[in-house]
Amino acid sequence: MSYLDPRAGQTSGDDTSVPTPYAYGSPGGPAYQNPAWHADEQRPETPPAKRGPGKRRAGRGEKGKSRAGRNLPAAIAVGVSLGLVVLASLLVWPPALLGVVVVAAAVGVWETARALSVTGARPPLIPLIAGTAVMTGLAWYEGPDALTLGLVATIGAASLWRLADGAAAVRRDFTATTLIAVYVPFLLSFAGMLVRPEDGQWRVLAAVVAVVLSDTGGYAAGVFLGKHPMAPKISPKKSWEGFAGSVTASAIGSAALLFFLMEIPVYHGLLFGAVISVVAVLGDLAESMLKRDLGVKDMSNLLPGHGGLMDRLDSILFAVPTAYLLFAIIAPN
């Protein structure tokens, strides 16, 4: 999830082009079949083509594409569909959210393991996905202590699984395995604890809406006002103006939502929205760093107009644990 500097006007995905003189798969670079170079970018060794008279900027005149370079109708349709799935699980039968979390985390584990394979690591999917279901269930039934034990058990089971290929395989894959287990199922499992109270469905809804408002406000402010890059070495298209739009939209929207749904004071709602926005942006930047290091634009091509599911979960992963901690302060059970 990202917002744009309007001067870029081409891609909404993070700029993950490899900062070295060679591309992945070229002589001197690691082999990878999905280079990070965007379709509308020139490779460093190729002189940029001059734009002829009257020729529009790349990506602006393409049918169905937004200024961000994405298929906007497809992106909206997919985003609305995902939102309806979460909303239906919350309003019809809140425990159904556990199934949504398990499926989402399992897909995220697969995408992240696939992306990390370019480093030569082979994190075992079966124990990681099984551990995802275990961690989600422990978070729902037993709480944070059991969730932590589930994380340790998942990493241990994955290491034992890889031990069948020898100690060298365990050493090679341990870091990637730990990263995946912590980054995806552990963080996302906090949704199980967030939905447990009687008003749990509103807590989850507030966290998700705060992230959506942060992304929408940041996109709008970045497109129309963005001039100063926020983190040019990580994600050059993000601007400080977009960040301000993210925090403002999330704070105001969360204050109104929490007041009407849960009668939480406005100042607590403003704090909730602002903090969620900050960690959502940090989550987005964290995945941008990971993708830049791996040399990939998107974690997969699973969702039309969006990339991979992890490209939609990047902000949620950091927001859910933060929302759990914030509600423990502003609305304790």
Give 34 or 148, the one with higher predicted confidence.
Answer: 148
Q: What is the pLDDT of residues 224-280, one digit of tens each?
A: 888 889 888 888 888 999 999 999 999 999 999 999 999 999 999 999 999 999 999
Residue 220 above 80 pLDDT?
yes
Residue 139 above 90 pLDDT?
yes
Over residues 319-324, the mean pLDDT reads: 96
Mean confidence (pLDDT) of the chain: 81
So what's the pLDDT on residue 111?
Answer: 93
Q: What is residue 41's DSSP assignment? A: S
161 pLDDT band, cuts 50/70/90, is: very high
Q: Which of 234, 130, 138 is nearest to 177 (CA)?
A: 130
- 203/12 Cα distance (integer angstroms): 29
Q: What is residue 280's DSSP assignment? A: H
Q: How many CB atoms lie within 10 A of CB 311?
A: 24
Give 218 or 1, the one with higher predicted confidence.
Answer: 218
Q: Where are the alpha helices (DSSP H) in the chain?
A: 72-92, 96-116, 125-141, 144-163, 167-181, 187-188, 190-194, 200-225, 240-262, 266-294, 310-330
Do 125 and 137 touch, CB atoms closer than 8 A? no
- Longest Cα–Cα distance of the chain, Å, equals 66
Q: Which helix (H) or strand (E) holds 231?
A: strand 229-231
Q: Which of 75, 1, 2 is nearest to 237 (CA)?
A: 2
So what's the pLDDT on residue 70?
Answer: 56
So what's the pLDDT on residue 81?
Answer: 81
So what's the pLDDT on residue 272?
Answer: 98
- 308/145 Cα distance (integer angstroms): 31
So what's the pLDDT on residue 180?
Answer: 96
Q: What is the pLDDT of residues 285-298, one digit of tens each?
A: 999 899 888 888 87
Do 235 and 288 touch, CB atoms closer than 8 A? yes
